[in-house]
Amino acid sequence: MRSPLLTKLLFGHRPPLNWLLFCLVSVFVLIALLGSSSSSSFGAVTSFATPDIYTSYRKLKEQALSDYLELKSLSLGANQLKDIGFCGKERENYVPCYNVSANLLAGLKDGEEFDRHCELSREYAHCLVRPPKDYKIPLTWPAGRDVIWSGNVRLTKDQFLSSGSVTKRLMLLEEDQIAFHSEAGMMVDSVKDYSHRIAEMIGLESDAEFLQAGVHTVLDIGCGFGSFGAHLLSLKLMALCVSAYESSGSQVQLALERGLPAVIGNFISKQLPFPSLSYDMVHCAQCEIVWDSKDGLFLIDIDRVLKPGGYFVLTSPTTRQQQGSSTSAKTGSMYTPLEEFTKKLCWSLLGQQEETFIWQKTVNSQCYIASKQFDIPICKEGDMQLYYQPLARCISGTGSNRWVPIHERSGPLNSTDIEIHGVHPDDFFEDSELWKSALRNYWSLLSPLIFSDHPKRPGEEDPLPPYNMVRNVMDMNAHYGGLSAALLEASKSVWVMNVVPLGEHNTLPLILDRGFAGILHDWCEPFPTYPRTYDLLHANGLLSRIASQGCSMLELLLEMDRILRPEGWIILSDTLGSIEKARMLATQIHWETRVIDLQNGSEQRLHVCQKPFTRK
């Protein structure tokens, strides 16, 4: 519990709300009036100027007037602002856009009723999702990777007891905790042994050589309880879990609770939410997907997200049975559907051990053109950067400048790599330096209250090092992934979900090629994750962006509250008008807030908030 003194030090004394609003309204009145009175003289003086200058000025004037009217409206209703209440208990694990009943009423079937449909189930209940009765603040990293509070996730004893024998050996359910054993030296079939077997099957001496072989990023489909991803992260690989929404008991929720990268996603009917040529390896261990169904559409989408030379690792008893039957059938020139589809996709079967099979995607793009006899066409130009589009029966990425075999890539991106993404190298490197500087300022300004440079959370005894109060970070408007890179260079023990807002220049391929986690998202919609799954949310310029789209700032902040853990932090950087509106709304949501003037002559303001831990 934070002391009143600490709260005062952090957030200071705020002037009366009406007085502050009056001052701000007055400022914007002056801006609007001066702008209006001087527009003719400005036009006369700058008649030689380019139209862009006038356009920019006009936009600034319109924005000032808009901010003034908005603040005036808020000031008139300031006394009527009411705190937002809490949702009912039934929404403790609420994930918007997943409403099976609404989907069934809309006529969706054949599994599509379990898919994401924001257009059918957008329930705008303006309330705060409360934590479960037994919720506790997660343990600091890295202890929280291997021990979590059982009351924080929807995993019952029945679900645990019904899980497989390997799962039971990797987990230990105790009174109010779940312990995971993801380290080596425990048993013959440990996660490390499994990872080592995969490395041997692709021709490596050990899994420590994954990076040398070009495997930097792994997409783990149906990630179970996250132990494989945890092991890959220890090898300095970025392993992102993607798994279907589950109303009771969730792989994604469990992985995020452990501080492991994860996002809700599946491809019952839609493509995976990533662009073409995104991952070096796709892994599926008993993920319960029938890969040869829907005429191979699932495998085609795996081919779409795999980089040239990338690996598809499939561990499944069903696959073993299919391949076993195909061995005896080959004498009659017959193949299983799975074999047929992998041949159409120009994949090579590298090996099989027990229930594990590994295919490698071709590095020769001409192979797909030669395989037209298999009736899988090449996708049309522009089909590579889609957002939640239906599964497509076509091969993509073959004409991309990013078609580079994984074993030919080494080290950070160079200028040529950056230009391939339509980004000028000077802009990229300038952005990188900017975020290095911003991160240093964040640390200087906000330590010891947020970051792990300080040995304890306020009010707690000193934990034993190493420690980290922030683990799961989301950059809600990631641009080039500069914040993620700055955190990595500063050796901070965090991972970042880099979100590229829909409608912005699509820099997600660049972010993924840098080896980071990322996803496209429309912030006028909820984010595909469970409640209480991020420690820190960061957004630069996002408030202004959603306002220009006509979307609700209140609904965005409520969504941020939903996905933020109790005692989690928010850092917003935006224009004065947007920040002031966010500050007023933040008080309704019960956040503790502080607005910081950057004192560099900029119109930007920094808004720092903390979500309290309350069970009301």
Interval 265-320: pLDDT, tens: 887 888 898 999 999 999 999 888 888 888 889 999 999 999 999 999 999 876 54
pLDDT of residue 113: 85
pLDDT of residue 266: 81
Torsion of CA 177, 178, 180, 186, to 10 degrees: 80
454 bridge partner residues? none
Owner of token pair 């641009």: 479
16 preceded by cis ω (within 30°)? no
pLDDT of residue 44: 30
User: Beta 356-361 vs 279-285: how paired, if at all?
Assistant: unpaired
3-class DSSP assignment, residue 336? coil
Residue 508 and residue 77 in contact, taking contact as beta carbons nearer than 8 Å? no
Phi/psi of residue 172, nearest 5 degrees = -140, 115
3-class DSSP assignment, residue 244? coil
Give the C-alpha separation, 66 to 61, whole Å: 9
Residue 486 and residue 443 in contact, taking contact as beta carbons nearer than 8 Å? no
**pLDDT tens readout for residues 245-276:** 887 667 899 999 999 999 998 878 888 989 99
Amino acid at 366: Q
221 bridge partner residues? 242, 284
Maximum Cα–Cα distance across the chain: 89
Exposed e or buried b for every residue in 29-61, given b needs 16+ CB within 10 A? eebbeebeeeeeebeeeeeeeeeeeeeebeeeb
| Number of CB atoms found within 10 A of residue 476's CB | 25
Give the C-alpha separation, 400 to 72, whole Å: 51
242 bridge partner residues? 221, 263
Owner of token pair 């004893």: 157
Torsion of CA 411, 259, 474, 451, to 10 degrees: -90
Burial class from Cβ neighbours inside 10 Å (0-12, 13-18, 19+) for residue 183 reads middle
> Domain locations in the chain?
414-452+466-611
Give the C-alpha separation, 110 to 290, whole Å: 14
DSSP per-residue codes, 484-499: HHHHHHTT-S-EEEEE
Q: Hey, which CATH number is domain 414-452+466-611, 3.90.850.10, 3.40.50.300, 3.40.50.720, 3.40.50.150?
A: 3.40.50.150
**603 φ/ψ sector (left φ>0, alpha ψ -120 to 50, else beta):** alpha
472 bridge partner residues? 495
All residue ranges of the chain with pLDDT < 70 are: 1-81, 121-123, 156-173, 182-189, 248-249, 318-335, 370-374, 381-386, 446-468, 599-601, 616
pLDDT of residue 83: 86
The set of residues, in sequence order, having a beta carbon less than 8 Å from that of 309 and lying 6+ positions away, is 214, 360, 361, 362, 363, 405, 406, 407
Closest CA to 288 of 330, 326, 243, 250: 243
Q: Evaluate the CA torsion angle 602, 604, 605, 608 in order and state its sign.
A: negative
Q: Which contiguous run of DSSP H or E holds residue 255?
A: helix 251-257
pLDDT of residue 111: 81
Q: Which contiguous run of DSSP H or E holds residue 178?
A: strand 177-180
The set of residues, in sequence order, having a beta carbon less than 8 Å from that of 602 and lying 6+ positions away, is none
pLDDT of residue 186: 38
Burial class from Cβ neighbours inside 10 Å (0-12, 13-18, 19+) for residue 294 reads middle
Burial class from Cβ neighbours inside 10 Å (0-12, 13-18, 19+) for residue 13 reads exposed
3-class DSSP assignment, residue 471? coil
Q: What share of the chain is helix, strand, coil (3-state, %, to 5)?
A: 40, 20, 45
Give the C-alpha separation, 498 to 507, whole Å: 10
Phi/psi of residue 10, nearest 5 degrees = -75, -50
Give the C-alpha separation, 591 to 585, whole Å: 9
